[in-house]
């Protein structure tokens, strides 16, 4: 079989400019349906671990879903309100800014067939922390982020900490270039064109050109 990924309009997403000013805390963006299958509970538990290590982080979670109230209560009960920020549903027009305001992207899903948010994060030049749950394994490379096992909260926290302390090893330019080579609209359309031409008989191709 031939797998052709979805494309993302790269003109809407681009890496943020670096001001050179040291930020007060490291910001992780997360965008997903707020439900157990997206690993949001694992992410909140990892946030607990990172807070316990004294790391200054903010996790901005965009989206809504059936488990939102339960997870908000978890944050309240475990004093995570200063670490976790619930951004609500993010519109497509607001998504580029949502990524651009972050330093990295994290989504520890339990299963993903693909994952457009990972590609959008790449288009924004963000390093990614994700799980080995299907889709991300074909998207995230050592140059663009870290993959951990599904449900491994300690591993997730360690991966997030690794990205915080090694952020300088992840080049927004290189991550963006990976996106352009693999998921930009022009590249995906060309792959579709090549597949279509491979199954059209030469005689039909000539007829079409005529």
Least confident range from 25-39, 134-148, 151-165, 178-192: namely 178-192
Reading the block at residue 5, the tokens are: 């990924």
How many residues comprise the chain? 210
Tokens of 83: 């670490």
Residue 18, pLDDT score: 58
Average pLDDT over residues 25-38: 97
Q: Please report the DSSP string for 59-111 in residue order.
A: EEEE---TTHHHHHHHHHHTT-TTTEEEEEPPPTTTHHHHHHT-SEEEE--S-
Cα angle 171, 157, 27; round to 5: 50
> 């074909």: which residue's tokens?
138
Contact 54, 22 (CB under 8 A): no
* Mean pLDDT score across all residues of the chain: 92
pLDDT digits (tens, 9 = 90+) for 156-203: 999 999 999 999 999 999 999 999 999 998 888 888 888 888 888 776
pLDDT tens digit string along 64-111? Answer: 999 999 999 999 999 999 999 999 999 999 999 999 999 999 999 999
pLDDT at res. 123: 96
Task: Write down the pLDDT at residue 23.
Answer: 64
């Amino acid at each position: 079989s031939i797998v052709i990924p979805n494309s993302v309009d790269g003109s809407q997403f681009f890496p943020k400019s670096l001001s050179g000013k040291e930020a007060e805390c490291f910001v992780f963006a997360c965008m997903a349906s707020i439900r157990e299958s997206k690993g949001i509970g694992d992410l909140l538990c990892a946030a607990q671990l990172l807070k316990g290590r004294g790391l200054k982080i903010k996790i901005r979670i965009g989206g809504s879903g059936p488990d939102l109230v339960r997870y908000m209560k978890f944050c309240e009960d475990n004093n995570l309100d200063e670490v976790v920020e619930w951004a609500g549903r993010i519109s497509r027009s607001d998504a580029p800014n949502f990524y651009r305001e972050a330093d990295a992207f994290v989504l520890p899903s339990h299963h993903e067939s693909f994952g457009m948010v990972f590609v959008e994060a790449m288009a924004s030049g963000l390093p990614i922390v994700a799980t080995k749950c299907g889709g991300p394994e074909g998207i995230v490379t050592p140059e663009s982020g870290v993959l951990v096992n599904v449900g491994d909260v300690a591993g997730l926290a360690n991966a997030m900490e690794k990205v915080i302390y090694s952020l300088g090893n992840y080049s927004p330019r290189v991550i963006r270039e990976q996106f352009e080579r693999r998921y930009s609209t022009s590249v995906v359309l060309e792959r579709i064109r090549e597949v279509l031409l491979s199954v059209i008989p030469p005689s039909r191709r000539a007829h079409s050109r005529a």
